[in-house]
Structure 1
């Protein structure tokens, strides 16, 4: 029995504005993911087992698990159970990469690192990553291509404290979020993005084979871990001549 859960069930019906019990169960289960109690690919206990452990109904547990599945934290497999989602290449790519062709079909990019290194955080990096001014950061600059054509220029900043030695010569995967989860135990739960149109700088124009000042779509993204910590600041400059940025609003 988890301390306090049975009492929470009673309180939820008597305290005005109290958070629904299934939300509290969800938060507790997410804390287990954050703490590494369950790791990517692990099979969770059954709804019956979790309900008995937490002192709540199976319906409450089911609702919490449904939300976590919708958040891409869990995966339900028919006849096998509920598993912690693995941020493998395919999962991370199609959950966070929103570029499609003109018919709306997802596109698979290839990445080429131009440079990477370690430095002290600039004011903007410290603010976006919520770290101390001049704390060490890892910077990665890369170009992403689709069908051999360069279409995205990216600048990425990472807190060194979370990803030590990532600035060394190791090969970087196409989707960094896979590496974050596999090697550092950090799962990206969601991302906050801001979009605007910007002109191509000389370097970006050269790397994307465009004229200087060609209009680009800028995607300013902060990636958040399950506990809400910013773990990456990424600026993606996208040439959308044959592609589109596609999202589904529900």
Structure 2
């Protein structure tokens, strides 16, 4: 396995008190400093999604720390779904193409049966167009007012029934050339497309949920429900490394056959 000179140099710099940047304060536990260095390598693209990282033993030798310290750092990154351990194969950079994390941010579950029986959602793109960000959207995406954003409106159908209506905003500079046809044709979750084609990995999200009544006829028609039908409103801001916002998503969900599921540890 190739060495990670950037990592080993950074840990030397940290121990010597030089100015090499760490993702965490120098006074934090050593395993947290190692975690910060591993995060830097993930962010820089030194290890690509789906690629194996060096073994714990190799990393321990490169970083001049114990294998247990490296293991503890990797354990936290695995718990955060940034790395994936595969029995007998090693540790890999997590990717949205992995089946168990494909729909990690979509918490809608069928009332009867499970996701395997239901199958993947069917996307229908209503439009994908370039707009100028208003002040609110610019603030949410850490842009300047008037900067270009991509606005995608789509429905997600479960077993042929429109269940989710979503508006998605992306910073245009990071997703040049994205189109409705590309999103429609991609066989897999949209986050996997953004990761594979544009090198943007979404690693965490904040969501706000609210119960609402269907406010207008257009929404009711797209979801094939009566005007005034109760819906679940979900607003999500999704981040890449270093807490950089890369997506704002506002959706309304039918809950007559589905529910929002969250597992709390």
Q: Quick check: TM above 0.5?
A: yes
- Aligned to 2:128, what secondary structure does the other structure show? strand
Of the three residues 161, 175, 179, the one matched with 1:149 is: 161
Q: How does 1:4-15 map to 2 (within 5 A)?
A: 5=11, 8=14
Describe the superposition over 1:24-67 as per-residue Cα deviations: whole angstroms up to 9, x where unpaired: 11111111111110001211111111011112111110011111
Q: 1: distance between equivalents of 2:27 and 2:89?
A: 34
- Aligned to 1:193, what secondary structure does the other structure show? strand
Q: 2: distance between equivalents of 1:91 and 1:186?
A: 19
Q: How does 1:81-100 map to 2 (within 5 A)?
A: 81-88=90-97, 90-100=99-109
- Aligned to 2:157, what secondary structure does the other structure show? strand
Deviation at 1:92, TM superposition (A): 4.4
CA contact (8 A) 1:126 1:132 kept: yes
- Aligned to 1:227, what secondary structure does the other structure show? helix
Q: 2: distance between equivalents of 1:101 and 1:114?
A: 24
Q: 1: distance between equivalents of 2:173 and 2:106?
A: 26
Structure 2 residue 12 is matched with structure 1 residue 3: no
Deviation larger for 239-248 or 22-31: 22-31
Q: How does 1:71-220 map to 2 (within 5 A)?
A: 71-88=80-97, 90-103=99-112, 105-106=114-115, 108-167=120-179, 169-172=181-184, 173=186, 174-200=188-214, 201-220=216-235
Deviation at 1:99, TM superposition (A): 0.9
- Aligned to 2:176, what secondary structure does the other structure show? coil
CA contact (8 A) 2:127 2:180 kept: no
- Aligned to 1:218, what secondary structure does the other structure show? strand
Q: 1: distance between equivalents of 2:13 and 2:76?
A: 23
Aligned to 1:19: 28
Deviation at 1:17, TM superposition (A): 9.3
Describe the superposition over 1:71-121 as per-residue Cα deviations: whole angstroms up to 9, x where unpaired: 111111111111111221634433111111225733532111011101100
Q: Which runs of 5+ in 1 are unaligned?
A: none
Q: 2: distance between equivalents of 1:140 and 1:60?
A: 44
Q: 2: distance between equivalents of 1:104 and 1:98?
A: 15
Cα-Cα RMSD: 2.1
Deviation at 1:202, TM superposition (A): 1.8
- Say how many residue pairs are matched: 246
- Aligned to 2:243, what secondary structure does the other structure show? coil
CA contact (8 A) 1:188 1:225 kept: yes
CA contact (8 A) 2:134 2:145 kept: yes
TM-score normalised to the size of structure 1?
0.91
Structure 2 residue 233 is matched with structure 1 residue 227: no
Aligned to 1:242: 257
Greater helix content: 2
Change over 3 Å in CA distance of 1:79–1:92 after alignment to 2: closer
